[in-house]
A and B are shown apart, each in its own frame.
Chain A
């Protein structure tokens, strides 16, 4: 199945360098329509004002964690089915079960390659 490469991807991470890395990897997979937020609070603001097709969020962030963002998104009737890819690290992978119970679309473990990222996105979109 073809994935629409023009879809809008929201990258959420408090570490600016990490946002750049994810953006670069997305661009390698030919996703060009990217917007970013530095935490869950900012992400929610963007989601209120722009149409986003996929969220890629870090778990571990100040103010609002990725899990809290996921819960807020799922609780919002307009966003409840929005694809949500959670980024995590090997050391914190076990926590992912909590996100799975909250309806995360998929997860990805740092560090990852552009191929793995594209694969995960394709899987999410296919299942929609």
Chain B
């Protein structure tokens, strides 16, 4: 019968291929060819309802797979059965072609395959034996091959392994936001798998075993045998913590700082893993899209519940996002934003690891190069020379140096993302300890800051986040009573403003109680009860050293543990803290830091015989005012009318006690400076130009000078002082 022709051709081609098949040694590509042909044969047999042929072909296919995977000990016997199978298929094929059916018996043949591939139980036993063999092999190999077990390799593994663990943490947090995202699961599975692989080569048993256990757990998630729950995430987070501890310990040992022998309690962890693997999936704890929408404030809990009902009752069932859109509760944009928030993945980038010391040295040297280059350019010999070629080369030198400086500085800039993620993790742990329900939202994670600042700001940030969770966020009962969602929110936000990077930590807790702070401050004799203070000034009292230690105040005010320490740390970085708070709505602490600790764009100004550098980012405007825009109002002080705004005038020469060239603003120049939350006019004699300057520390004795943030060596080799607008404003106010 014609319809069996193609089937016969396939069987014949398998038979002729087998003639060239080496039956002692598996030829992988040839085996692949067989598998593909068998697959096609199965399909065709199914279409023709040739059930027995299909069963034989499927049996052969799985037999061959087992041979390829080396799961069959006696390969030759395996190939023998395979050959018999081909003959049997030819027989069935012939019979089908001639009679349209096949009445022969295939059961004894199927039995011979089953004997070879073994029953289920026997097979898994074999697998265990095999993997034990693998372990034995790796042990043996670890001991004998010193060449791959060299120190630098181990060092590489430690650095890369720790990076991978960071990546795992990031992706775990992403997964918690979006439990159904398989990409996230894969992104966590993969690093565990890689760590396990290398640890196997390096004979690091403990790491290998733990990574293997965690990998298995994730594999179950991948295969939908386990659901993502916060319990699961907790376990994996704890597992990666232990893994990290083992690797760090390895690092310490290698660096010759033997630490206490690590007591790792992997047994409890293993028990937890076992229990979650066996236990019923815990769907209640799974975090869903709807929750994210509630967190975002897009919908209320009631909206969500109604939406869920609609979603379930719809035929066919809708997804919650669709249901909410169709109910008109959210816009498609809000849903897609929430989805995007969930799926945001860690960005993989190609990187070279460099010792930070080398980088710092490079940036320092480039700084010196810029200055030297600038000195050469302004050398009188160069300035007066008429050689065009020399002039051209000098200007080329300066453009190359400034490009070099830009690039080298950017090398040290890193996104704040990782810091934020560490904070998110912290909030998660803290809220669990405090028994509160607190979520985290981050914004501006890609904002870049100087690498050297990352560590410096870490402790102050931890402190503030801790305060936000411990004291800022109110208890569930209080929140419900105040009509707020039960779940508290901590918001971390980073952005650039002027030459600063601003990091905001907000909570939607009970806010700072102005009156309580005021009362305590008077009690502590920090202020006088008759003082007229703005809200800002009152909030800033919590940074006073004596204030913050009183635990009672802390409880009432909701803030304050060790805030003086935070303030000192921030100021050390030339940073500032601002507080904004509304009672019962929450508080925002904004930390502003200079973008980089190395260079600023400066405007060089002259006052009398002195020169100063003003950070360009702080300058809003330069102008020579008309006489009529100058005002001197009793009690309010001197002002200049700048486009309708009366801004206070600050006479720089008065602050630094120098003899100016001009005293009348309309003869001099006015620089409109922006401080933290106000602008003022700075009176100077002349603008000399703009220059990029490398900040040099003034040394310990001058560090506390107000109004000056540092020194810089200028192009002509002279030193200029860099002005700090906010400090100048405060100085001018204290001078009256």
Contacts and interface: CB of A to CB of B under 8 A. Distances in A.
Contacts of B141: 111-113
B198 A91 contact: no
Contact of B145 (A14, A105, A113): A113
A16 B148 contact: no
Interface string A81-104: 000000001111110110011111
A89 B65 contact: no
A100 B156 contact: no
A14 B190 CA distance: 10
A106 B28 contact: yes
Given A91-B212, A101-B39, A106-B28, A15 B68 contact: no
Interface string B601-636: 000000000000000000000000000000000000
Contact of A100 (B31, B131, B153, B196): B31
A60 B36 contact: no
B187 interface: yes
Contacts of B659: none
Contacts of B196: 89
Contact of A101 (B32, B187, B198): B32
Contacts of A15: 160, 164, 194, 197-198
Given A62-B187, A91-B212, A105-B29, A21 B65 contact: no
A112 B609 CA distance: 76
A98 B215 CA distance: 21
Contacts of B189: 60
Contacts of A93: 69
Contacts of B145: 28, 113-114
What class of interface size applies to chain A in its complex with B? 35 or more
B201 A110 contact: yes
Given A91-B216, A107-B28, A111-B138, A17 B69 contact: no
A113 B164 CA distance: 25
A66 B620 CA distance: 56
Contacts of A101: 32, 35-36, 39
A109 interface: yes
Contacts of B198: 15, 17-18, 21
Nearest to A87: B197
Contact of B197 (A18, A38, A113): A18
Contact of B190 (A62, A96, A112, A123): A62
Contacts of B443: none
Interface in A28-74: 28, 38, 58, 60-63
Nearest to B68: A100
Contacts of B65: 97
Contacts of B68: 96-97, 100
Contacts of B190: 14, 60-62
B134 interface: yes
B92 to A, nearest CB: 24
B197 A97 contact: no
A92 B69 CA distance: 11
B262 interface: no
A17 B160 contact: yes
A15 B348 CA distance: 13
A20 interface: yes
A79 to B, nearest CB: 15
B528 interface: no
Interface string B62-79: 000100110000000000
Nearest to A14: B194
Given A62-B187, A100-B32, A104-B32, A20 B219 contact: no
Contact of B131 (A25, A38, A90, A102): A90
Contact of A17 (B31, B35, B153, B216): B153
Contacts of B202: 21
A110 B147 contact: no
Residue of B25, B27, B194 ringed by the most chain A CB atoms within 10 A: B194
A38 B350 contact: yes
A20 B156 contact: yes
A107 B200 CA distance: 17
A92 B196 CA distance: 12
Nearest to B154: A17
Given A17-B156, A20-B156, A62-B187, A100 B201 contact: no
B422 interface: no
A55 to B, nearest CB: 14
B495 interface: no
Contact of A16 (B25, B31, B156): B156
The residue in B145, B198, B216 that gathers the most chain A C-beta atoms within 10 A of its C-beta is B198
Interface string B179-195: 00000000101100110
A97 B35 contact: yes
A127 B164 CA distance: 38
B157 interface: yes
A94 to B, nearest CB: 7
Q: Which of B28, B29, B39, B198 has the most CB of A within 10 A?
A: B28
A112 B68 CA distance: 18
A90 to B, nearest CB: 5
B193 A89 contact: yes
Contact of A60 (B137, B157, B160, B194): B194
A37 to B, nearest CB: 11
B215 A91 contact: yes
A127 B69 contact: no
A46 to B, nearest CB: 14
Contact of A94 (B69, B137, B215, B216): B69
Given A14-B194, A100-B68, A107-B28, 18 more contacts: A15-B198, A16-B160, A17-B198, A18-B201, A20-B156, A21-B153, A25-B148, A58-B197, A61-B190, A89-B197, A96-B68, A100-B31, A103-B32, A105-B29, A110-B200, A111-B134, A111-B137, A111-B200
Interface of B: 25, 27-29, 31-32, 35-36, 39, 65, 68-69, 130-131, 134, 137-138, 141, 145, 147-148, 153, 156-157, 160-161, 164, 187, 189-190, 193-194, 196-198, 200-202, 212, 215-216, 219, 348, 350
16 contacts: A17-B157, A18-B201, A60-B189, A60-B194, A90-B130, A91-B193, A91-B212, A96-B69, A97-B65, A101-B35, A105-B28, A109-B134, A111-B134, A111-B137, A111-B200, A113-B141
Give the 5 A-B residue pairs with the shortest CB-CB distance, closest first.
A111-B200, A15-B194, A100-B32, A17-B157, A111-B201
Interface of A: 13-18, 20-21, 24-25, 28, 38, 58, 60-63, 89-94, 96-97, 100-107, 109-114, 123, 127
